[in-house]
Amino acid sequence: MYINKKPKAMVTMYETAEAKSYKKKFAEYVQQEVLKQNWDIELTRDKHYYMDCIFYFERIDQDEQNYYKCLCDSINGIAYIDDRNILTRTHAVYYDTTSPRIELVIYPVDYIGIFPNTNSLDVFESKCIQCKRYKNNCSVLRKCKEGRIQESILDFVCSEFKEVKHK
């Protein structure tokens, strides 16, 4: 749906009554699961999470890509703080006329920012500790942890590094 709103026009998704009903019911179900599984939503604040999905459709003409926006929006604020940190992945699509459903598993990614894993970050940061910029909340390190690509980092080596002189 196109909305001509000043100063900029914007596009928004038209939500059917069926979609609204689905989102409400699904959100209630996920809320119960969050409580049952002792899920800590706070862990999702600053880290990406995978949401692996298996779809069991009622008919073969359904498209799993059409479900993601509704699915993610309905549990935003329940299973995770912000769906911008959720990486959706389809692992399989099956057809089950008697029990159509979607199975989800949400778990943290291995990478942290630009680093493939915690160990890589630890090695990089152990070098940063020896830099003058580190004590002043180094913007290069902060941006690396946020996943921002920077010209000053090449092969996990920082060109901004200035070693602290020990007296």
Residues 18 and 100 in one domain: yes
Pairing mode of beta strands 86-95, 101-108: unpaired
Residues 101 and 148 in one domain: no
Q: How many residues does the chain have?
A: 167
Residues 99 and 57 in one domain: yes
DSSP string, 106-147: EEE-S-BTTBSSHHHHHHHHHHHTTBTTGGGT-HHHHHHHHT
CATH number of residue 98's parent domain = 3.30.1330
| Helices 68-75 + 17-36 axis angle, to 10 | 50
> Of 85, 108, 131, which one is at a domain's C-terminal end?
108
Residues 10 and 81 in one domain: yes
Tens-level pLDDT at each residue, the chain (167 residues): 556 666 777 666 677 888 888 889 989 999 999 999 999 999 999 899 999 999 999 999 999 998 898 899 999 999 999 999 999 999 999 999 999 999 999 999 999 999 999 999 999 999 999 999 998 889 999 999 999 999 999 999 999 999 988 76
The domain in which residue 142 lies consists of 118-158
Residues 82 and 131 in one domain: no
Number of domains in the chain: 2
Residues 23 and 97 in one domain: yes
pTM as predicted: 0.79
> Of 108, 129, 147, which one is at a domain's C-terminal end?
108
Residues 14 and 90 in one domain: yes
